[in-house]
Structures are given as structure tokens and as C-alpha cells.
Amino acid sequence: MIPALALMIIFGISHSILAGQSLKQAFRTRFGERVYQGGYRLFYNILAAISLAPVAYLLGFHPGGEMWHIAGSWQPVLFIIQGIGLVGFSLSLVQIDLGRFAGTSQLIAYLKGDTLPLPDEPLQTRGVYALVRHPLYLFSLMLIWPVQAMPRRRGDPAREPHVCRGHRRPRPLRRSAR
């Protein structure tokens, strides 16, 4: 878990640096205002995806036991939470301009020679945005976290997983001395 945590910290630091005004100003100075307006958002998103890929790889493809296991009787509740997350995430996506969110609309405007920066989007205060400030974050977490068993990365210290409702980890099978 230490490598994944270190990679998440690196992502957090790089995210903060990339979102900061000093790097944005340096980008503007180096490449010009038009290139900044047309490409920085996409550049930022590509770097974010690249820096999150190792975390996803470590956590997703190298399981080594369970961090927690929730009793099967809770499975319907977990599915309901995930269903709410899926609906909320989908509604959130419908309410925003995905091209602007990803940075592709800005790049297309730059390549076509259209005026940049693009006009400001109106503040979203209806739908899911009336309920929560960052619905994409909230609902994506509601999709990811409510799972019956959360895998642990290989190489973590041998600890008992958190088990709800009195379930115990099965004992290892003993080999017969035949």
C-alpha cells in the first residue's frame, strides 16, 4: 500500500502545481496566451491521467487479499448506493459540456482559429448541482467504494481485513502427511 500511497501523494502535489497560477503563468509566458487558452486544459487532463495510471495499476491489478469484506446481507444496500451513484454521475455529465471539461473544445477552437478564450459557461445551480457542489466527485465515489470486498495490494503487511457482522477469515487448508 505504501507505493500506491506515495503515487497518490505525487498525484496530489502535481495536481496542485498544475492548477496553480505560477505554472499557468509560466506556460502563458513560454507558449503565449492563445496556446494556453487552447491547450492547457487538455494538457492538464492528460498529465492527470498519466499520473493516476500507476495508482490504478497498483490497486486494480495487484490485489493481495482484502482490505475489508462486508457481509452478503448488505449487498442490496451496496447496489442501491452504487445505483444512485451511477444515476447521479450520468445526470452530472449531461449537465456539463464534456468537451470543455476534457479540454477538447478549447483545442478544437484553437485549431479552427476561433476566438479564445471560449465564453464562460453559466454557473450550474439546477439538477444535481443544486444538491452538491462537485457531483462528479461525489457520485464517482459512490460508484467505487460501496463494494462487498475491497482488494488489498500484494505485499501489504499481513493484517486481518476489516470484517463486518462477525465473519472470520477462513483458516488455511493443511496438507495431509501422506
**What is d(CA 160, CA 18) in angstroms, rounded to the nearest whole number?**
39
pLDDT confidence of residue 158: 45
Give 96-131 pLDDT, tens digit per residue: 999 999 999 999 999 999 999 999 988 889 999 999
- The model's confidence at residue 147, banded by pLDDT at 50, 70 and 90, is confident
Angle at 108 between CA 116 and CA 51, to 5 degrees: 100
Rounded to the nearest 10 degrees, the angle between the axes of helix 33-61 and helix 104-112 is 150
* Residues linked to residue 69 through DSSP beta bridges, in sequence order: 149, 163
Q: Are 110 and 116 in contact (CB under 8 A)?
A: yes
Q: What is the 3-state secondary structure (H, E, C) of 54-119?
A: HHHHHHHHCEEEEEEECCHHHHHHHHHHHHHHHHHHHHHHHHCCHHHHHCHHHHHHHHHCCCCCCC
pLDDT confidence of residue 70: 79
pLDDT confidence of residue 152: 61
Give 28-60 pLDDT, tens digit per residue: 999 999 999 999 999 999 998 998 888 777 767
Q: Are 88 and 24 in contact (CB under 8 A)?
A: no
Q: Are 143 and 52 in contact (CB under 8 A)?
A: no
Give me the residue spans of the domains in the chain.
Answer: 1-65+149-154, 71-147
Q: What are phi and psi of 150, to 5 degrees?
A: -105, 120
Q: Are 86 and 129 in contact (CB under 8 A)?
A: no
Report the first-to-last Cα separation within the chain, whole angstroms. Answer: 39
